[in-house]
Structure 1
Amino acid sequence: MSGLENVPDQMLACQVVEFGQPYKIHHIPVPKDLQPHDLLLKTAVASLCHTDNMVRAGIFRPPLPCTASHEGAGTVAAVGSSVTDFRIGDRVMAGLYLHPCDACDDCKAGLPQYCQKCEGAIGVHTQGAFAEYVRIDARTAAKLPDAVSFATAAPLACAGCTIFRAIKQAGVQRGQWLGLVGAGGGLGHLGIQFAKALDVRVVGVDARDEGLALARATGAEVVVDARGGKEAVVKAAQDVTEGKGVHATVNISEAPEAAATACAITRMHGLMVQIAQPDQVSVPFRELIFRNIRIHSSLVSSVAEEREMLQVVAEHNIHVSTNPVHGLQAIPQLLELAQSGKMKGKGIVVVDPEQMEREREGGAKV
């Protein structure tokens, strides 16, 4: 039995129904049209991401109406006919990508996030996790370690997977220095903890009081206020690296000067990994040509990397700083906090408190 016989026909969901307009929170049909590799997840927690704003603004333009949020975690309620690795009742972090082709070079390399033939990311190109149920693909999902809670796992589905892969792409070795520009945000404070778990030293750069405080609280060895200007930021990075700069930098900030700052604090011949998504990435030619700063981009983790990330989270007690609201009807309150610039970490929506109670009884502690 697939489990669908125990699933209701209707559910509450938060949707983009018109670009540039507020979300509509209403009842819609539960997505029961499972394809062979699909899982139907009963959402426990869903998380707000910057990309959600891009969808609502029409920068990404899925068919409407589209249920928001591509960061979700919950319990398997039903399984497709070809699913063998998941069972009803498993606790799962939703994978972003739905129906990769399994035939292109990227899919064969274990990188379905780059598949050009898949249906895209949930909540961005197709229906997402701001709902009581969400349809996901078992091939891109990950079971949760017993210690990892839904409240931690939901933000990791994109934010965690993005910064974890970027740090791995940066290739910084134990004892070396990593720069994080935008260190005090939702991705940045996770990046600090991942770096520490790898015994990497961190120079964290941010431009908000809240961000600077969070970067310090999560353990950045050096925290620099970008509002002091690029020269002061570069000096602070060079002061702790024998005048050379950090070995590599990850740029998380969309600020116009952020990419240039990320390159400037990186030592000669070093690497800057760009994960922020401004309309234009601007870097002075002197950084590229005279200092030989290399620039890579990075998206989200591969399936293998996301499962590795969850083990790192469990083993190193990595925590997500969350700003929870309770119930899908409270999403407007979460948006108000996010737009205020006062949010510390990630905004999450507790969709099903009963699942969270059960997992506490089961020993989830992170």
Structure 2
Amino acid sequence: MLAAQVRAYDTPYVLTTVPVPSNLGPHDLLIKVAAASHCHTDAMVRAGIFGTHLPCTGSHEGAGTVVKTGSAVTSFQAGDRVMCGLPLEPCGTCADCTGPENQTHYCTNTKGAVGVVSNGCFAEYVRVDARSTTAVPDAVSLVSAAPLACAGRTVWRAVEQVGLGEGQWLAIVGSGGGLGHIGIQFAKKRGLRVIGIDARDEGLALSREAGADVVIDARKGKEQVVKEVHEVTGEQAGADATITLADADSAAALACAATRMHGTMLQIAQPIEVQIPFHEFIFRDIRVRGSVLCSPGESKEMMEFVALNGIDVKANLFHGLEKIHDLVEKVEQGKIQGKAIIIVDEEQIWREEELGAEF
């Protein structure tokens, strides 16, 4: 099969031919990939941040159709449309594996992660774990499902974790990126009021398009951003909670400053160091948390929510794995809006019209 692989750190993907995965474990699925998208983590893999053993096929955001199932799989069968799971072979015994479904994090004892330390979705076929894979309802397209596999799962859980109720204010720093524009929609469809904060013209435009109630340009500086947040939130002087998706050195400090006293800042971005002035902790009692990925149950709830309420994933489509270098070039230019997605199998996408996929 054709695959786009990382063969050496800090070098372009290599488009090559590799064997189709054949040795499925009892909980594995073999997926014929329909669409795969690029995530910031893919750049981190290519930079060697995770120490990935090379060669490794890129992309941990994929969706497609089940071709074959492992001996212990009962939840899926050949022909099912799915959003690929990321973790491979969780231990099954730690607290995060055994639940409850609002688990504190993900299993740290997994034996792999698709597209990060194991071969990923920039290929015609991919091996994934059925236990972390999610069925795709007929109403949801595989093009939308692919970026939801990481970006969607991550920001869905972030909106869940801040624990806000209808009418409360959520600020998102980095609101106009791949995760941010999805997060805005999740929050708005759950009745929250959203302040989008971004530092790019394209990001500000996408924040408005996604439905943010207020959009603020971070390039104005922290003092002005906080002033504008206070103007819209009134006496409570800040957002009830803030999600940080931008990895700029100043992003976490800005997020805390934009949050009301005793509020929560949820850190999703992964800079080498998260820099926050001490007075945000000590004098303003800002509670800082981190989060990543959904549990299987949370992922299922997200997909059901999307099928019922709709979501508009801003997709920049590239047709064929041969376009991998064009995709990376556009992403690295920093001018792209939303998610960069490769259509790997056009036939699966054409068939979706018969299913009535709306979103």
Tell me the TM-score normalized by structure 1: 0.96
Give the C-alpha shift of residue 123 in structure 1. 0.3
User: Residue 151 of structure 1 aligns with which residue?
Assistant: 143
Pairing 1:220–2:212 present: yes
Q: Percent identity?
A: 56
CA distance in 2, matches of 1:285, 1:63: 38
Match of 1:223, SS? strand
Could you tell me how far 1:120 is from its partner in structure 2? 2.7
Q: Deviations over 1:308-353 (max 9, x none)?
A: 1111111111110011100001010011110111100000000000
Note if 1:33 corresponds to 2:23. Answer: yes
Larger mean CA deviation between 111-120 and 97-106 belongs to: 111-120
Equivalent residue of 2:120, what SS?
A: coil
Could you say which residue in structure 2 is the equivalent of 1:169?
161
Instruction: Name the CA distance, whole Å, in 1 between partners of 2:111 and 2:336.
Output: 32
Q: Which residue in 2 is equivalent to 1:24?
A: 14
Kindly indicate whether the alpha-carbon contact (under 8 Å) linking 2:105 and 2:291 is maintained by their aligned counterparts in 1.
no
| Pairwise CA distance, 1:113 | 6.0
Aligned residue number for residue 317 of structure 1: 310
Q: What code does the residue aligned with 1:254 have?
A: D
CA contact (8 A) 1:97 1:112 kept: no
Distance 2:113 2:301 in 1: 21
Match of 1:62 among 49, 52, 60: 52
Contact 1:313 1:319 in 2 (8 A): no
Query: Is it true that 1:206 corresponds to 2:198 in the alignment?
Result: yes
Displacement of 1:116 after TM fit?
2.4
1:286 alignment counterpart: 279
Match of 1:328 in 2: 321
CA distance in 1, matches of 2:166, 2:230: 19
Distance 1:305 1:105 in 2: 16
Mapped pair 1:186 → 2:178: yes
**Contact between 1:102 and 1:108, CA under 8 Å: does it hold in 2?**
yes
Aligned residue number for residue 340 of structure 2:
347
Of the three residues 292, 295, 300, the one matched with 1:299 is 292
Question: How far is 1:240 from its partner?
Answer: 1.1
Show the counterpart of 1:264.
Answer: 257
SS in 2 for 1:29: coil
Does the residue aligned with 1:25 lie in a helix, a strand or coil?
strand
1:232 alignment counterpart: 224
Of residues 324, 330, 335 in structure 2, which corresponds to 1:337? 330
Q: Deviations over 1:246-299 (max 9, x none)?
A: 100000000111000100010000000000000000001111100000000001
* Conservation of the 8 A alpha-carbon contact between 2:106 and 2:295: no
Render the CA deviation track for 1:116-147: whole Å, top value 9, x for unaligned: 22123100011100000000000000000110
Count of residues in Structure 1 that have an aligned counterpart in Structure 2? 356
Aligned mates of 2:253, 2:280 — CA distance in 1: 8
Q: Is the 8 A contact 2:106 2:293 kept in 1?
A: no
Q: Which runs of 5+ in 2 are unaligned?
A: none
> SS where residue 188 of structure 2 aligns?
helix
Q: Could you tell me how far apart the structure 1 residues matched to 2:331 and 2:314 are?
A: 14
Say which is worse superposed, 254-263 or 311-320, in terms of deviation: 311-320
After superposition, residues 19-168 of structure 1 pair within 5 angstroms as 19-109=9-99, 110=101, 111=103, 114-168=106-160
Aligned CA-pair RMSD: 1.0
- The answer for the alignment partner of 1:8 in structure 2 is none
Q: In structure 1, what residue type is equivalent to 2:16?
A: H
| Contact persistence 1:147–1:365 (CA under 8 A) | yes
What residue is the counterpart of 1:15 in the other structure? 5
Look up the equivalent residue of 1:198 and give its one-letter code: R
Aligned residues of 1:183 and 1:204 also touching (Cα < 8 A): yes
Secondary structure at 1:186 match in 2: coil
Q: Post-superposition, which runs of at least 4 consecutive aligned residues in structure 1 deviate over 6 A?
A: none
Query: What is the deviation of 1:114?
Result: 2.5
Q: TM-score, normalised by structure 2?
A: 0.98
- 1:241 aligns to what? 233
Contact 1:112 1:302 in 2 (8 A): no
For 2:262, the aligned partner's letter is H
